[in-house]
A and B are shown apart, each in its own frame.
Chain A
């Protein structure tokens, strides 16, 4: 019983964190709309997820879409992966880290165990990742950073 109560409290806490993120991101998108600048650096990043159930994947995909400046473009259930378009995503690793922070907080709030699990490691040590995922990761690594500068 107390575990369920604790989860409700964590959900409320996550809601607060999310609302804050929502406002912050909104401000940067509105600023970009009014005063177009060099800060706009879009990109589509692959995001292997720690989410496992359909509910978790659906929730994180929609939460990401609802945050201004980030939009889920594609979803794969097996292994769980999102492709996320970001408006201010100059550095893809920093962009991924932001998304992972939100995913981690969401999973801690949603799961009774309050554990998000380990971040997917880089490279082929991905475990049972499917072929498509492996191929995508390797080709992504080849075109590493600054390719179009």
Chain B
């Protein structure tokens, strides 16, 4: 029984590591900040969760179960809040959406709130980033 649990645990650890690795690939290949944040938010939660549960199956005990449940809950919560914070900060500082984005219903609200005809998703001061290179 415990041998079987160990095998299942190993499989879970491997799957979890794969999910994390694929999130890394997604970070490189997806088109913009929002899709990247989206992919990494979940993958970090799911990947770490799978690894932790896998380890738990190798060392099952009541104490470890409590620890793993706590760790998974905290990991999922911080991943979700962190992903939201990154996306929100990106949007408010004008990180552009990928060209293939179909619609943006937040744009109108932000425009109204700022009281200008400015298009969100474009940088407010285009020259600012390049300034560093010149100095």
Q: Which residues of B contact A105 (CB under 8 A)?
A: none
* Minimum Cβ distance to chain B for residue A2 (Å): 27
Contact size range, A: 35 or more
Q: Which residues of B contact A110 (CB under 8 A)?
A: none
Given contacts A33-B39, A72-B87, contact A40 B31 (CB under 8 A): yes
Decide if A41 touches B80 in the complex (CB within 8 Å). Answer: no
Count of A-B contacts with CB under 8 A? 145
Q: Which residues of A contact B45 (CB under 8 A)?
A: 66
Decide if B109 touches A71 in the complex (CB within 8 Å). Answer: no
Q: Which of B79, B88, B105 contacts A140 (CB 8 A)?
A: B105
Cα distance A36–B25 when bound, in Å?
11
Cα distance A97–B104 when bound, in Å?
17
| Residue B52 lies at the interface, judged by CB distance under 8 Å to chain A | no
Decide if B39 touches A135 in the complex (CB within 8 Å). Answer: no
| Residue B37 lies at the interface, judged by CB distance under 8 Å to chain A | yes
| Residue A139 lies at the interface, judged by CB distance under 8 Å to chain B | yes
| Residue A26 lies at the interface, judged by CB distance under 8 Å to chain B | yes
* Minimum Cβ distance to chain A for residue B27 (Å): 9
Cα distance A34–B26 when bound, in Å?
8
Cα distance A110–B116 when bound, in Å?
41
Q: Which residues of B contact A136 (CB under 8 A)?
A: 105-106, 108-109, 112
* Minimum Cβ distance to chain B for residue A10 (Å): 20
Which residue of chain B has the shortest Cβ distance to A75 in the bound complex?
B84
Decide if B29 touches A36 in the complex (CB within 8 Å). Answer: yes
Contact with A along B81-117 (1 / 0, CB 8 A): 1011001100100000110111111111100110000
* Minimum Cβ distance to chain A for residue B75 (Å): 10
Given contacts A29-B26, A72-B87, contact A41 B39 (CB under 8 A): no
Decide if B19 touches A87 in the complex (CB within 8 Å). Answer: no
Which residue of chain A has the shortest Cβ distance to B39 in the bound complex?
A29
* Minimum Cβ distance to chain B for residue A71 (Å): 4
> Could you list 18 examples of A-B contacts with CB < 8 Å?
A34-B25, A41-B100, A42-B31, A44-B34, A44-B101, A44-B105, A45-B105, A65-B79, A65-B80, A65-B81, A66-B42, A71-B34, A71-B41, A73-B34, A73-B84, A73-B91, A74-B91, A136-B109
Please list the 6 inter-chain residue pairs (A to B) with the smallest Cβ-Cβ separation, ordered nearest first. Answer: A139-B108, A62-B80, A46-B105, A68-B42, A33-B26, A71-B38
